[in-house]
Structure 1
Amino acid sequence: MMQNPLKWSLFALPASLGLFFGLFFGLSYPEIVRKGWPLTTCHVLSSKLDSRYCCEKVCTAGCSVVTIGAPLCSSQISLVNNAFSPSRCASDRSTCPPQIGQVCDGGFHCCSNCCDTCRSCKIKCTGHPLVCTQSCSSSPCRCRCCSSTPQQSCTVSCPSCYSVDLTLRFGSGPTRGKARSAIYHQDFGKDEVSSKQFLDSHPISSSSRCFYNPKNPSQVSFDVSFTPWKWAVVSIFGIVPLFLNLAVLVTILGVIPAYRAINAKLAERRQRDVSETAFLVSNQGPQEVNDISSKEMAVDLEGTHDKGYSNADSDDEVPLLDAKGVHKF
């Protein structure tokens, strides 16, 4: 891991930008564009519920090896998905795929991992005087595959998946221009109940509001609201990493230099104030100090002179006699 945060942030910036734009234009932007589609009324001309096989491999736990000569699971799955139909199988058992439930070769599989045990410790100091405590924890590290098989034993499972196709007509009328037709397709996966409910809510000859793409009128949607999970993925894996990376760059390249520059200015101003104060004190010198002392002595003498008149009756001071007093003696 890089020790320099700036290097780490500059290295991660292209990755975070690529991740953000990839997720945004792949998931969110199509929904933003679709949100602006014009509203119209769609009339259902025909409807069809389609079923198909969506096969997958189911592998056993552990390291069981398939028998020699077993077909590859990928080829069996492709064959069933393209050549067989659940609806035909339901009406004629002879058309059902024989590959369902058969053992196939699932390819390489790591059966178990072997890991070392790493110990990490943290020291925390609190209080005054400092009291330090150490806490340690163990976790697996340096994991590697220590048991594997090149031909894992699996079976072919083929559940049915469902989709609905609607033939729609929209845009007819004197103010709506020429009527247009479109095929609406929606895949429901393995959810047969939802597919039948959607088909029941859009029967033939029914009308409902819909939205169409003005640049490609063959694209029609009954719902243009945003998908929450798509925006959650874009936010968590696209916006948050990009925001954190930009925050680090702004802090390193902007906030910290500005903070240091302000502190340097304040320190320079404090140093200048101290220098000016020291300069003023040094310019006063001994002469000003003597002047101050002389002024203080003059004040004391004036105070003493006044005291001679005011304390004439005191025992410690000799009163001054005028000429009449001297004549009497």
Structure 2
Amino acid sequence: MESPPSLSSVLDDETENQEELAMLKELYKVRCTLRGDALVKFDFLMDSLKEKDESIEELEYHLNDKERRFNLLRQELKTERCISQGLKQQIETYELDKVKDLETIERAQLLTQELNASKEELEVAHASLTRDLDHLERANKLVKDELKKLGENHDLLQETYKKTLGSMNDPIIDKNIASSSTSFTSEHAKLVAEHVRLQEELSLHVETNTYLESLVTKYGLNYHPNESACEQATILEENVRLKKELAKFTTTKNKMGLDDLLSKQRSNNQKHGLGYTLKSYKKNFYKKEKPAQEKNKKVTNVGNASKGKATSGDRTGPNNHYELFVDYYGDVYANYVGPRNGYAYRGYSI
């Protein structure tokens, strides 16, 4: 038989209520009065009660633990809900950012297309500028050659001008210098004006050359020309070709001086010489020729010849019907100044 619980063990049990403690004291007093089987049964009931109390406490502990876990789970659920709400907001923000990013990508693609188009235009413009630079380099080279040729021609014209001034001491010109002084002055003024014009043209070519060199230096490009579509370059090339032909005609091999070349470049109105007659005048002259029976008729002349006798065209001595003049190129020629009474007008160069 098991011994009954001592009073100290009963008193040591923790109770939450003073009424339970008082009830335990009463039960202890009742136990003290019992003997035999009644005491054993009473102890058994007390032990069973204690076990039940322990079971109840354990169940309460588990219940409290369940409640604690439930509270924890509920708290976690609230946290998860907050997290879910935050994730939803983040998803919405992400969707908005995605739309904005798509719009940005579309704008970037459009901008890329525009930049590609601009790049193509720039490439075309760059190619055009490259061709222009090639033409400018060719033009620059041609301008340099033209400048050199102009300088040589200028020196040659100065020498020719000096030689022309030196040839003005001819006795025939000195004899008639009084009548041609006005014409010589005007021709001299024309030569001075031509000299000034050549100097201006020379300075213009120098400025053009300097400008072309500044363009090449400014853009820092160095291309080799391969085309000649530029109009200015074509004109300059033609000019250089003509200058080369001029230099070829002025060589000693062809035995042609500058005066002869310039005389060949004069117009028909400036061509004079002994026996020279324009084609139109020759035709008119032959058409107006009188028949053979009328050739022996008397002709009235203003000169010193007597009536009924024709004056000889190749007689020696001065002829008052002609005066000496100097043309633009320094050539001396005789011009008819007599009466217009049937004589053929001719200018003879000397």
TM-score, length of structure 1 as denominator length = 0.28
Q: Which has the higher helix share?
A: 2
Greater radius of gyration (CA):
2
Q: Which has the higher strand share?
A: 1
The structure, 1 or 2, with the larger RCO (C-alpha pairs under 8 Å, 6+ apart) is: 1
